[in-house]
Structure 1
Amino acid sequence: MRDLLTCHEKLAADHPGDPAIVYHRGPAGPLTLTWGELWARAGQLREDLLRGAARPGHVSALTLQDTPDLVPMLLALWQLDCPPVLLDPTWGAELTRSVLAHSTPAFHVALTPAVATEPIPQRPGDSAAPPDAAFIGYTSGSTGDPKAIVFNHDRLYAGTLGNVAASLRLHGSRPARIARSMRMSGSGVINLHHTWGAVLGACVVVLPELTVATARDYWARIQDEGIEQTFLVPQLVELVNRLAADRDPDRPGPVCFTGSAPLAPHTQDRFQRRFGLPLYNAYGLSETSSAAFFGHRGPDGLATNSIGVPERAAARLRDREGRVVDGIGEGEIELSGDQVFGGYYRNPKATAETLVDGWLRTGDIARRDEEGYYHLVGRSKDAVMKGSYAIYLTEVEEAISAHEDILEAAAVPLRLADSTEDIGCLVRLTEGAATAPVKILAWLREALGPQRAPCRIVVTDEPLPRGGQDKLDRPNIAARWDALPNVPRSLRSTWSEQGRAG
């Protein structure tokens, strides 16, 4: 079924003059597309594709250039059964080549400076579209162990129904206008804004990208546009906390979600105390099509740091010994339900490791409390064994981000000379700060204790590498660390060397 496509068609027929997308970004803005205009533009692009290199029924490749034609192009490709491989324009040439070599699309679509298609030569049959595919997104490991997810129309729609249910529950009614402040980087940004908005029947307002330069006026834009729902990754929440002017407390605010990366309690607390709005801690993966948890409201009316309970999916915990946890306890989150993916594209080995008896092994560790609410602890893959302690990189990053002079931080797992494991930390300071690494390290030892604190702090002037939805790009962070002189090597380099030696 193509419920998302049908949803757009029905909105164009029933509400042709209502705004669907408002652009306040780049040379195209300000621009408003109604539902009727959005659908009509999709039809025009469909005809342009047929006159170009498009091959109906085959995989395409789409570079995610943030223009008003992006959503109409997705609709046009869906009409032709040409699910696009989503290409982030910030990827380097090597990563892009690797993704294209694995996915073998039949043609490429560019949106700027004008819509254009070009064929990509492949062997016959290589580019046939997977059944019911909406698009294909790459999550990680594209060079050695490619993990690509086919976002199936049915599963994507099922996940979006959970999003809509969360909006109705937490907002009290259907939000009419949703803000997008993130750059268009991948499937997550599409799913958390444009598909969510379409199923709600809400207008998506594309604001100027939220950066250090634009953060001060964030709330003024939200209020001027009548925004009723917003979603910010934790890195952007930090920007708003540190740089945004205060919002008018006498005007109603939007329902605020965050997710895609761990949310530090102090970041959430500062946001809620300063702006007087709940900040709900959502949780999901690309493998669940969209978010599965949408946070929890405490008795004071503000959000807790818990991710709550799943909106539509089923969840359980499995402990280190492989036993399913009943009641209160801690373990790896496993999920099942209509929104959970059916396996990685052309990677049966990774699929078998991740989908077990119909349950998705997320790799994320959570604690379930006495009321049944889930609290994220860390990632099973992002842990370091330091002595007898399992230390999650996220807990170090959360702790160091509480320092008033730290703008962003990334923890790096290290292998020391005696073959023990430890943690290093790359940090970027706020503008004008000059705190020495030794002082940051002393402060962190006080905050975490010497056993859990990193062994080395390195200050960098460069923004930390990030991928889609501003998630820390851990492979590139490790590579940047390994390029530094006189530091312990990361576990990444150690494992790589062992692989070459063996």
Structure 2
Amino acid sequence: MRELLDRHESLAESRPDEPAIVYRREPFADLTLTWADLWARAELIHARLLDQGVRPHQVSALTLHDHPDLVPTLLALWRLDSPPVLFDPRWGTELTGAILAHSTPTFLIGIEPELTARRIGPDRADHPEDAVFIGYTSGSTGDPKAIVFTHERLYDGTLGNVQASLRLRGSRPQRIARSMRMSGSGVINLHHTWAAVLGACVVVLPDLDVSNARDYWARLEADRIDQTFLVPQLIELVNRFAADRDPAVPGPLCFTGSAPLSPRTQDRFQRRFGLPLFNAYGLSETSSAAFFGHLGPDGLATASVGVPERVSARLRDRSGRLVEGVGEGEIELSGAQVFSGYYRNPTATEQTLVDGWLRTGDIGRRDDDGWYHLVGRSKDVVMKGSYAIYLNEVEEMATSHPDILEVAGVPLRLADSTEDIGCLVRLIDGRETSAESILAWLRGALGAQRAPCRVVLTEDPLPRGGQDKLDRPGIRLRWEQLPGVPRTLGSSWESAGQGRR
């Protein structure tokens, strides 16, 4: 099918001189790649990969870097039908090793400082068909969850993105800002794939942080940005540090998602900057976003995620019955963009896909007008930045530490509308390992993005229920009762304090 590859080739032929990617981020600031440039570079990389021994119809592995060759390399691999497993270079050694062991790629592709291809495994006959890439939502435990993004499903989902852009903006966006580093499939899909199907240009801005947040709106104005997508943590950064925008200048279409958005954060953004902030919702399992928010009668977005753009949605209550009309229950989704199952994990697939419906694990409420509102999560999963981190993934890694007897992960809500993870740890009697050293060890094994932000040591056995399973409510209560260790922290995961006894 290869719709996304065909889309890039079509743009290279019909709009060769129009910009596809503009870099404002060092070390490539002021570099512009046209659609013809992307396609020509992809053809060159395709030839170089063949010269270096890469063969078609094999799974590859690709380390993600913010480099002008990233998109052309993806195009070249699509031409080879060699779908890459996407790796974040900030992942720890344990997670990277576990994902490689599960996905068994034949080739490892590097793009920085130059294009390289190295064989790391044998040829395989079971590569997934029509695949764009393979993304992992967890991988360092015995239950790896990987999703094969196909051209057909991702293209269908992105048509929903395009439909939402046109519906909410009233015209086709021409320039989309990317203020996040290249860290996974979500960043690719919410910027580069969305832009390609729109026929829009992606402007790669400097990573948004405290040092440059003041100039955020001036930067968007200078580059004539008319669509942007920021995770809630970055929305809070803009709220706190950005200078006021010029209300006389038309603003961009603003989306947020990938993590829960607090009504306070959304309201402050909209009232201060005078722009609707649409609360999008989707999962890796839906290939792209499925809901794109709702515009209220006052011209600002509500906290609702709206109604699905191109999928069917329903609610199922705790008794297993479908909810009719107004009510609350687990959100289930079905449609052409919904995945067909986890890669090499039939057990997880059977638990998540039931009669063609995706059990999201997220609790939603449907109001009188049919709009959907996110309530919470039924799974033990934390959205840390743009990543879904499963508590048992962190727990299983921590219990492999030689000094740890038992451990429980605790979801933490940070003051800047993001989530993180705390770990309640009980050491083997007689061991004197500090919380700080355990935290450093976990950061090395899992990578800072997936590691907890705080480790707390306890001498008491952890609360457990039937079949010796961890009692999650009891563990959360234990955490909240610890002196000086609140469940709600005051800073982001990157700067949250370390553990204490």
1:157 aligned to which of 155, 160, 164: 155
Instruction: Kindly indicate whether the alpha-carbon contact (under 8 Å) linking 2:95 and 2:139 is maintained by their aligned counterparts in 1.
Output: no
Equivalent residue of 1:27, what SS?
coil
AA matched with 1:88: D
The answer to whether the 8 A contact 1:335-1:360 is kept is yes
CA gap of 1:96–1:496, structure 2 versus 1, over 3 A, is farther
CA change 1:471–1:164 in 2 (3 A) is farther
CA distance in 2, matches of 1:414, 1:381: 19
Cα distance change, pair 472–488 in 1 and its aligned pair in 2 (3 A):
farther
Paired letter, 1:148: A
CA separation in 1, counterparts of 2:164 and 2:462?
A: 40
* Aligned residue-pair number: 432
State the Cα deviation string for residues 58-96 of structure 1 (Å, max 9, x = none).
010000011011001100000010000000110011111
TM-score, structure 1 length as denominator? Answer: 0.80
**Aligned residue for 1:258?**
256
Q: Secondary structure at the match of 1:26?
A: coil
Partner Cα separation in structure 2 for residue 137 and residue 415 of structure 1: 30
CA shift in 2, pair 1:410/1:142, >3 Å: closer
What is the CA–CA distance in structure 1 between the aligned matches of 2:419 and 2:189, rounded to whole Å? Answer: 27
Whole-angstrom distance in 2 between the partners of 1:42 and 1:139? 28
Q: Which amino acid aligns with 2:323?
A: V
* 8 Å CA contact retained: 1:2, 1:153: yes
Kept after mapping to 2: 8 A contact 1:414/1:488: no
d(CA) in 1 for partners of 2:461, 2:172: 51
| Map of 2:398 onto structure 1 | none
After superposition, residues 51-200 of structure 1 pair within 5 angstroms as: 51-122=51-122, 124-125=123-124, 128-200=126-198
Q: Percent identity?
A: 66
- Does the Cα contact within 8 Å between 1:216 and 1:240 map onto a contact in 2? yes
| Counterpart Cα distance in 1 of 2:144 and 2:71 | 26
Aligned residue identity for 1:337: G
Superposed, 1:403-414 pairs within 5 Å as 410=420, 412=422
CA separation of 1:321 and 1:42: change in aligned 2, threshold 3 A: same
Partners of 1:253 and 1:490 lie apart in 2 by 51
How many angstroms apart in 1 are the aligned matches of 2:214 and 2:422? 31
1:402-440 per-position Cα deviation (integer Å, ceiling 9, x unaligned): xxxx69664658799xxxxxxxxxxxxxxxxxxxxxxxx
Task: Tell me if the contact between 2:17 and 2:35 (Cα under 8 Å) persists in the aligned partners.
Answer: yes
- Tell me the equivalent position of 1:10: 10
The equivalent of 2:290 in structure 1 is 292
Q: Does 1:242 align with 2:240?
A: yes
Q: Please report how far the alpha carbon of residue 485 of structure 1 lies from its aligned counterpart in structure 2 after TM superposition.
A: 3.5
SS, match of residue 173 in structure 1: coil
Letter in 2 for 1:203: C
- Secondary structure of the residue aligned to 1:136 is strand
Q: Indicate the SS of the match to 1:321.
A: coil
Structure 1 residues 497 and 372: alpha-carbon distance in aligned structure 2, compared to 1, 3 A threshold? closer
Letter in 1 for 2:140: S
Work out which of the residue numbers 281, 297, 316 in structure 2 matches 1:283: 281
Letter in 1 for 2:53: A
Match of 1:20, SS state, is strand
**In the alignment, what sits opposite 1:484?**
456
Amino acid at match of 1:68: P
TM-score normalised by structure 2 residue count: 0.81
Instruction: Output the CA distance in 1 between the equivalents of 2:448 and 2:338.
Output: 21
- TM-superposed CA distance for 1:151, in Å, is 0.3
Task: Give 1:243 deviation, angstroms.
Answer: 0.9
Aligned CA RMSD, in angstroms, stands at 3.1
| Structure 2 match to 1:204 | 202
Post-superposition offset of 1:234: 0.4
1:26 is matched with which residue?
Answer: 26
Amino acid at match of 2:81: D
Residue 211 of structure 1: CA displacement? Answer: 1.2
1:484 aligned partner, one-letter code: V
Q: 1:317 to 1:18 in 2, by over 3 A?
A: same
Which 5+ residue runs of structure 1 have no aligned equivalent? 385-392, 417-457
Alpha-carbon offset, residue 29 of structure 1 = 1.7
Does the C-alpha gap of structure 1 residues 304 and 491 become closer, same or farther in structure 2, counting only changes over 3 Å? farther
User: 1:143 deviation in Å?
Assistant: 2.6
Q: Contact 2:98–2:139 at 8 Å: present in 1 too? A: no
Matched, 1:333 2:331: yes
In structure 1, the partner of 2:321 is 323
Report the CA distance shift for 1:156/1:489 in structure 2 as closer, same or farther (over 3 A). farther
Cα 1:33–1:188, aligned 2, differ >3 Å: closer, same or farther? same
State the distance in 2 between where 1:496 and 1:206 align.
Answer: 49
Tell me the distance in 2 between the aligned counterparts of 1:91 and 1:133: 23
Instruction: Work out the CA distance in 2 between the residues paired with 1:177 and 1:10.
Output: 19
Higher RCO (C-alpha under 8 Å, 6+ residues apart): 2
The alpha-carbon deviation at position 20 of structure 1 amounts to: 0.3
What residue in structure 2 maps to residue 220 of structure 1?
Answer: 218
Partners of 1:414 and 1:489 within 8 A in 2: no
Deviation, 1:142, is 3.5
Written as runs of structure 1 = structure 2, the 5 A alignment for 1:458-497 is: 473=450, 476-477=451-452, 481=454, 483-486=455-458
Deviations 1:15-47, CA, capped at 9 Å, x for gaps: 000000001112122200000111111000000
Moved over 2 A (4+): 406-416, 470-473, 483-492, 494-498
Deviation at 1:484, TM superposition (A): 2.7
Question: SS of the residue aligned with 1:145?
Answer: coil
Structure 1 position 42 matched with structure 2 position 42? yes
Question: Quick one: which of 352, 355, 364 aligns to 2:353?
Answer: 355
How far apart are residue 487 of structure 1 and its match?
A: 8.2
SS at match of 2:315: strand
Alpha-carbon separation, structure 1, partners of 2:155 and 2:463: 39
